[in-house]
Every structure is written in C-alpha cells, then in structure tokens.
C-alpha cells in the first residue's frame, strides 16, 4: 500500500499543483498533501489555515487524499507518518538542479526516495510566486488557479485595497 507525500507551500495552490495531486492520487494508494507551516519564501499571501482550506476544498472529490501540515524537516515528517515516497512535480531544467540535491538529502536523512512527475505542458511555466506577481499587478490568473483559489485571491485583494491609505 504505497503511501506518498506531496509537500509544498501552496501559497497559493495552482492548477499545476492540482494536476500533480490528481495524477499522484491515481498512482499511489494514499497521498498526504503536506503544507509547510512557514514557507521560506517572503511573506505568505495566505495563512496556513487558508492554504489548508483551499487544498481541502479543491481535492474533496478524491477519496485517498489527506491534507496535513508540517514544520521543520520534511524528512522527519515523512518518517513520522511512515510514508514510503515523496512526490514532486518537475517543470523545467532549473527545477531539476535544485530538486536533485533536495531529493538526495531527503533520502540520506530519511531513507525515503523522491519520485518526480513531469508537469503537464499547460502548467510548465506556472508557479505560485509568478501567479501572485501577475495577480497583484492586475493580470488575469483565472486559467492558472482553481476557481475557489481565485475567489480567495480576489477577497484578499479587496481587503488589501480597503486597508490601503487613500492619499
């Protein structure tokens, strides 16, 4: 019964992430989508609770998925829950460069391998940070994030605008 872990910041969840989640859920018996508590990249747009909620809502049709959160080392979390494999998506060559060392370190720390799915070509240029940048500059990101996530982004943007001084 292979149990896989798909870790990430999911700030926000994109259609690229969702594609990897759906394809992984079809291959592994059980998939834990693991949200890192403190993303190392800048100030997050969404809280842990909001990222958790978007993942839960967008995967509620998949029976073998659970959403969890972790802090600290991924290798420790994987050992703690007894998972067999880590899953990651690979978009472009530059992903490979950083993922290679990460996968080797994680295997060295936990004895758990990382398996990679090639991103769907439709999403090979989609990243959470790019989505946030385009969105905050007024671009249309509706093709790249699931509808519930777009709704949350619009709500967040409205709140930010309301807080902004008018002078």
User: What per-residue string of b and e applies to 38-75 under the rule 16 or more CB within 10 Å gives b?
Assistant: ebeeeebbbebebbbebbebbbeeeeebebeebeeebb
Could you tell me how far CA 97 lies from the centroid of its own chain?
A: 19
106 binds ligand PNS, rule: CB under 6 A: yes
CB of 7 to ligand PNS, least distance (A): 4
91 is catalytic: yes
Binding mask 31-70 for ligand PNS (x = CB under 6 A): -----x--xx------------------------------
Contact residue for ligand PNS among 26, 92, 96, 102 (CB under 6 A):
102
Contact residue for ligand PNS among 53, 105, 115, 136 (CB under 6 A):
105
Q: Which is nearer to ligand PNS, 12 or 152 (CB)?
A: 12
**Residue count, binding to ligand PNS (CB under 6 A):** 12
CB of 148 to ligand PNS, least distance (A): 19
17 is catalytic: yes
Active-site residue, selected from the candidate residues 41, 122, 158, 159: 41
Q: Active-site residue numbers?
A: 17, 41, 91, 128
Q: Which residues of the chain form contacts with ligand PNS (CB under 6 A)?
A: 7-9, 36, 39-40, 73-75, 102, 105-106
């Amino acid at each position: 019964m292979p149990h896989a872990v798909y870790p990430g910041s999911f700030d926000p969840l994109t259609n690229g992430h969702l594609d990897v989640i759906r394809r992984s859920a079809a291959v592994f018996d059980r998939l834990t989508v693991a949200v890192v508590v403190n993303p190392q990249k800048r100030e997050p747009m969404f809280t842990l609770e909001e990222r958790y909620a978007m993942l839960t809502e967008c995967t509620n049709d998949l029976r073998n998925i659970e959403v969890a959160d972790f802090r600290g080392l991924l290798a420790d979390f994987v050992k703690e829950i007894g998972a067999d494999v880590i899953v990651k998506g690979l978009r472009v060559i530059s992903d490979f460069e950083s993922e290679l060392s990460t996968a080797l370190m994680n295997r060295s720390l936990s004895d758990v391998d990382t398996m990679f799915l090639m991103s769907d070509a439709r999403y090979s240029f989609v990243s959470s940070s790019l989505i946030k940048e385009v969105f905050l500059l007024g671009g249309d990101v509706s093709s790249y994030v699931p509808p519930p996530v777009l709704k949350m982004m619009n709500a967040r943007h409205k709140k930010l605008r309301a807080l902004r001084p008018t002078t």
